[in-house]
Amino acid sequence: MLKAILTGISKQTTTDALARELGLKRSTLMAIVESLVDTGYLEVVGMQGSCSGCGGSVSCSDGHSCYGVYALTLEGERFISQNLTKTIP
């Protein structure tokens, strides 16, 4: 599943579309994405939406409709290019 998420993000699939494709709730996908950011497989490269004051947090807790823009790190690219079953701590 991690490989599918990273591949989807590398193809610039929206998180809503990716959640539907994988049969996940958006909140579940975002928890996984945040984990992938924390472990260095993804990075937040910007924010989009109506929020101007969230400071670029991964998920906006103020109820604004803003979304993180994610990109694979070198480690994330390595993960999807290899058929690893590496466990993320």
Domains of the chain: 2-81 (1.10.10.10)
Residue 14 zone, left/alpha/beta (φ > 0; ψ -120 to 50; rest): beta
The 3-class SS string of the chain reads CHHHHHHHHHCCCCHHHHHHHHCCCHHHHHHHHHHHHHCCCEEEEEEEECCCCCCCCCCCCCCCCEEEEEEECHHHHHHHHCCCCCCCC
Q: What is the pLDDT of residue 77?
A: 94
Q: What is the mean pLDDT of each run of 10 residues along the chain (89 residues)?
A: 92 90 94 94 80 50 65 94 61
pTM for this model (two decimals): 0.72
Q: What is the pLDDT of residue 58?
A: 47
Q: What is the pLDDT of residue 15?
A: 86
Q: What is the pLDDT of residue 56?
A: 46
